[in-house]
Amino acid sequence: MLLRYAARRLLAAIPVLLGVTIITFLILRLTSGGFVPGLELNPSLRTEDVDRIRHNLGLDAPLPLQYLTWLAGLLHGDFGRSLTDGQPVLDHILERLPNTVELTLTAVVLAVLIAIPLGVAGALRRGTIVDHLTTALSVAGVAVPAFWLGLLLILVFSVSFHAWGLPWLPSGGAFDPADEGDVGARLLHLVMPATVLAFGYLAVWSRYTRSSMLEVLAQDYVRTALAKGMSGRRMVAVHALRNAVAPLITLIGLELPTLVGGAAVVEIVFGWPGIGQLALERALDHDYTTLMGLATFTGIAVVAGNLVADVLYAVVDPRIRL
């Protein structure tokens, strides 16, 4: 049953994925044209040579044909080669991907672990100082620009702490350049980027948990459980929490596109060597094959994430599986 549900969702995801690649392809190719990085500006190349190179790379073919050629390669698992260095695009992406996954996963886990208790506390202690504080935090949290928060954290915890002779956090990168395998240093590098990325989502998700918890607390089965003498704590743990938090799974799935984009900004602020950083580097070089690969990859990640969220939701809430 669950398997059939998942299969149906998977089939529906294929046209969406195709659409994502077509739109990205059109936007990128219509804006950048048949540009080959570094060639136009090279004085030792004649125009005929540039044209020949462009022809060999297939950049002079009609756009629909270029797209189909690229798509045919993709179906064989071939993302093409980078226009900047001729290396396979997939190698570049796979080299950076673990760092982005590490950053986003940490941020999501951090945000969920803090947001749920905050939201539950706000709902259970409605109207008290606890509730007002968490509400204020969430209203402010969504309005803070992530890059600015990142810069402020760097100013305080890296620059000022260093100046004051306190233990300070590294301001950029993902690991100690002298010893890449040092896990402790990796964790230290992760603290600030993950905090910044988690902050905005923490605000939204705690707000959501609060309102959905309030809704659940007003349900008849909650009153029944309390009337039959169940303790408040046990009622929250057994009945309310599960029903209140289930919709959050869908919400997290829906936030994936902004999560990927937000991770890109955080990666750039903290010099985190993930795929967002790679995207900016390659975009500045007009390396459109790498960009297409990255966009496709993030598109797949978003669609797959939504799929996992839907299936997880069906696991948690059996009413969906109809």
Partner 1 sequence: MRASRGYWEESWRRLLRNRAGVASGALVLLLGAAALAAPVIAGLVLRQDPLSQDLHATFQGPGPSHLLGTDNLGRDVLARLLYGGRVSLGVGFLSVALATTVGGVVGVAAGYYGGTADDVLMRLVDVLLAIPGLYLLILVGAVVTVNAVTLSCLIAFIGWGALARLARAEVLSVRHRDFVLAARSIGASDLRVMLRHIVPNVLHVAIVAASLGVGAVILLEAALDFIGLGVAAPTPTWLVVLPGSMIFLSVLATNLFGNAVRDAFDPRLR
Q: Does residue 222 touch partner 1 according to CB under 8 A?
A: no
Q: Pick the stretch among 66-74, 122-130, 190-198, 279-287 that binds partner 1 (CB under 8 A).
A: 279-287
Q: Which of 260, 303, 312 is nearest to 108 (CA)?
A: 260
| Distance separating alpha carbons of residues 287 and 231, to the nearest angstrom | 61
Choose which of 49, 113, 258, 318 interacts with partner 1 (CB under 8 A): 258
Q: Does residue 194 touch partner 1 according to CB under 8 A?
A: no
Q: Which of 71, 70, 32, 36 is nearest to 53 (CA)?
A: 36
Distant-in-sequence, close-in-space partners of 171: CB < 8 Å, separation ≥ 6? 154, 158, 159, 192, 270
Question: How many residues are recorded in the chain?
Answer: 322
Q: Is 3 exposed, middle or buried (0-12, 13-18, 19+ CB in 10 A)?
A: exposed
Q: Does residue 226 touch partner 1 according to CB under 8 A?
A: no
Which residue, 29 or 81, is less far from partner 1 as judged by CB?
29
Q: Does residue 39 touch partner 1 according to CB under 8 A?
A: no
Q: Which of 85, 88, 64 is nearest to 76 (CA)?
A: 88
List the interface residues with partner 1, window 291-310 (CB under 8 A): 291, 294-295, 298-299, 302-303, 306
We find the least distance from the C-beta atom of residue 76 to partner 1, in angstroms, to be 23
Distant-in-sequence, close-in-space partners of 20: CB < 8 Å, separation ≥ 6? 295, 296, 299, 303
Q: Pick the stretch among 93-101, 121-129, 264-272, 311-319 that binds partner 1 (CB under 8 A).
A: 264-272
Binding residues for partner 1, how many (CB under 8 A)? 49
Q: Which of 79, 68, 67 is nearest to 275 (CA)?
A: 79
Residues that bind partner 1 (CB under 8 A): 15-17, 19-20, 23-24, 27-28, 31-32, 139-140, 142-148, 151-152, 155, 256-258, 260-262, 264-265, 268-269, 271, 276, 279-280, 283-284, 286, 288, 291, 294-295, 298-299, 302-303, 306
